[in-house]
Structure 1
């Protein structure tokens, strides 16, 4: 946790953004794996944690939008709970330690909510949250737009203390990737590498920020299967990040060859992706639309593929038409913070776009989660990639898509190439940027 003063200031600023009514921010509850006593590892709701700090389940924070005063509700643990879990804090003590009022039990919360003229809540992403909202306020499908915008406005700009936590998360993430690179060899399974890096995340006091992608099939963008045996010459794509004890995430991707150096076919693809990453980071600064940086990455990738004879024609026209998305079907990056895709539960268009920059409907670019102008204090990912996806290649070829820009005959030699993605995390500074984990 940060200081009680930090959370008090956050709650008051949030109240100013909403201005009237009662703000409702529930914590997450435990999620049962296969029976009541066996739960998945607990993950706190990031918005509750941002405005309250606590990593305990089944609490509820309300904020009076007129005054900014916070009230904490929750049921205290029973003696039977304590027998199994050890001593647990009283909810009243938690409220006092974070400069809040103790509101009482969750049953008391129900009656207090019934008296409120207006209740603001965020979009629910768990069915248990939807059930509670229906019970407490009578509906779960009317999230408050002023509350969403107020949360996004605060959480988008990271403070120095938050950035320090991000540096810590990325530093541990880099240790994970170094261990994977130094350990992975012919005959090992992907699972062995995945287990190694998860152990490093846990040993640093946190855990993985998201399920690790460790795969020799890098063309499958979110591949969580770890059963393949590594062979000499394979490209192993590792997309994994650590989460700190305070909940802040790292999100790093590296791709490297097993048992030797990059082959003559692999090297130019790797160097193109690396060039896109480096040049895009150099272009980052406040005021620049991230959509423009994404387009820069697409041009660099298209130029590299054209040099290899895989693409052809005018580079600008190819990118404008979306031909590059055959090889690069995702966005350059996204916000990162308490969530690996920061605030995605609030809606990507609220987080990554605004009235001046609208989301594209073009294949590939429509998956860009962040397009708006960058601001000092943003923490973002930069993750270009090149992938050879056989099913996608076959479909585009059959449909005759972008024949003026794609050399389908030359692609035959790359069907089993896989994919390469490289990713760093960056903080936007007052006049430039800095790669996180580099201090």
Structure 2
């Protein structure tokens, strides 16, 4: 987006707000000293409305329509260490903001607005430093800052950011183009006897050369049963499955990609691994086919669940009535997460806004957005939406128990809308500790054959993830080139 487009975004936001709007940019995060910091990443809300990726900035919109960017001019000492950077006036021009003021003036300007009785609308801070800054600016105790976060502002931001423009989608696809290159490098490096770290080094080289940082810490593991396994040091064996969950941020826009694939290290899937892999692949296809405008993401999830339950029953791991097994959540032993999440400037886009974007109320970030529960997607909304389903009365199921169909695991429950970009990432995992816990209490033993599960415990985990755009006619898998996921295509690539 250019400066004129950012200005229109700010005008659109302000039209929904009665009072002043205050957005803080991020500050550098120290590793172990104030001058030794982690790589800087701007707050995505601030980035969306200003386009400015530099630290120590703030934007204040007064009720009279005046926008002010607050920044601090770099002194010679800063330039000596870090080199020159744009001036505050340059930053303001880039954002299309007419007025610029020293950051040190922000407290006085906020105090003047408060003295006039003007409400100051701000988003719930997720970083401690932002919480302390807001506490100082607004003269409220630190532990009450999140209680005062603006429901109208949060709702307006979520509504705007959740619908992607053509330009935003193009940036996500740029990131996906590099992600495809990462997977090509990973497949070239993956081999028995090598380390997960070797694959990490190969994909890191591609990302660095492309000038696109990772959108999250890469997951590259032969222990794919652990959903976000941070380890990358294991040696790969011929019978291992290597799960790779990876993405990058397009530069300089910061729009993210997020793709998962699972590959046989030895070049061929075992019969057992292929059987499970094909269930996951079919579940993803069913979920993508279900997605479309107005379709609750719960229905997308349930489309995958039904395929997984039927597939696990065909392998002898589940038994009994499939719909009842799904309703009781037997599949969550093997599929212990939701079908996906929103994607955009953040890999879990808008997750800091809780229910306003996609969290179910039981998992709402109540410490962050306690005042927002009446604004969006509450559990009663979910019940009302789902009870109209001609295939299944999810409403009555939810009223009976929170765990029915595993819907309590979902990050995203709201109906999808044209312009949403979401991930679709079903998986099947054989987690020894979880199986042992369930088996010890014989949980849902009427549906789960624990003796039949035992031979699968060394398989690990299989997940397949793509990023999709919700369009008027359904959903489209994003990306300029497909990333291999057919087992035959994967094996052919590894042979070649």
Q: Is the TM-score greater than 0.5?
A: yes
Q: Is the 8 A contact 2:428 2:463 kept in 1?
A: yes
Alpha-carbon offset, residue 103 of structure 1 = 3.6
**Structure 2 matches for 1:178-217, cutoff 5 A?**
178-217=184-223
Matched, 1:332 2:339: yes
Matched, 1:408 2:415: no
Alpha-carbon offset, residue 349 of structure 1 = 5.0
1:381 corresponds to which residue? 423
Alpha-carbon offset, residue 399 of structure 1 = 1.4
Deviation digits for residues 104-131 of structure 1 (CA, Å, limit 9, x no counterpart): 1122100000011211111111111111
Residue number among 81, 84, 107 corresponding to 1:84 in the alignment: 81
Q: Is the 8 A contact 2:224 2:243 kept in 1?
A: yes
CA distance in 1, matches of 2:9, 2:460: 45
Alpha-carbon offset, residue 195 of structure 1 = 2.0
1:6 corresponds to which residue? 5
2:126 corresponds to which residue? 125
Alpha-carbon offset, residue 66 of structure 1 = 5.1
Deviation digits for residues 62-121 of structure 1 (CA, Å, limit 9, x no counterpart): 123553x42100111111111122211111221133221334112210000001121111
2:403 corresponds to which residue? 362
Q: Is the 8 A contact 2:219 2:229 kept in 1?
A: yes
Q: Is the 8 A contact 1:16 1:66 kept in 2?
A: no
Alpha-carbon offset, residue 228 of structure 1 = 0.6
2:280 corresponds to which residue? 273
1:399 corresponds to which residue? 441
**Structure 2 matches for 1:127-276, cutoff 5 A?**
127-139=128-140, 140-141=145-146, 142-245=148-251, 246-276=253-283
Alpha-carbon offset, residue 278 of structure 1 = 1.4
2:33 corresponds to which residue? 35
Deviation digits for residues 337-390 of structure 1 (CA, Å, limit 9, x no counterpart): 000000111114543562532696328432211111111100000000000111
Q: Is the 8 A contact 2:155 2:356 kept in 1?
A: no
Question: Which moved further from structure 2: 427-436 or 359-368?
Answer: 359-368
Q: Is the 8 A contact 2:215 2:347 kept in 1?
A: yes
- Structure 2 unaligned residues grouped into runs of 5+: 361-376, 387-397, 482-496
2:300 corresponds to which residue? 293
1:97 corresponds to which residue? 94
CA distance in 2, matches of 1:64, 1:313: 62
**Structure 2 matches for 1:64-75, cutoff 5 A?**
64-65=62-63, 67=65, 69-75=66-72
Q: Root-mean-square deviation (CA), in Å?
A: 1.6
Alpha-carbon offset, residue 221 of structure 1 = 0.5
CA distance in 1, matches of 2:293, 2:250: 27
2:326 corresponds to which residue? 319
Q: Which secondary structure does the structure 1 equivalent of 2:448 belong to?
A: coil
1:436 corresponds to which residue? 478
CA distance in 1, matches of 2:187, 2:410: 29
Q: Is the 8 A contact 1:310 1:410 kept in 2?
A: yes
Q: Is the 8 A contact 2:158 2:356 kept in 1?
A: no
Q: Is the 8 A contact 1:231 1:258 kept in 2?
A: yes
Q: Which secondary structure does the structure 2 equivalent of 1:208 belong to?
A: coil
Aligned length: 436
Alpha-carbon offset, residue 181 of structure 1 = 1.8
1:17 corresponds to which residue? 16
CA distance in 1, matches of 2:443, 2:16: 47
- Structure 1 unaligned residues grouped into runs of 5+: none
Q: Which secondary structure does the structure 1 equivalent of 2:16 belong to?
A: helix
Question: Which moved further from structure 2: 298-307 or 84-93?
Answer: 84-93
Q: Which secondary structure does the structure 1 equivalent of 2:188 belong to?
A: helix
Structure-1-length-normalised TM-score: 0.96
Q: Which secondary structure does the structure 2 equivalent of 1:386 belong to?
A: strand
Distance 1:436 1:323, change over 3 A: same
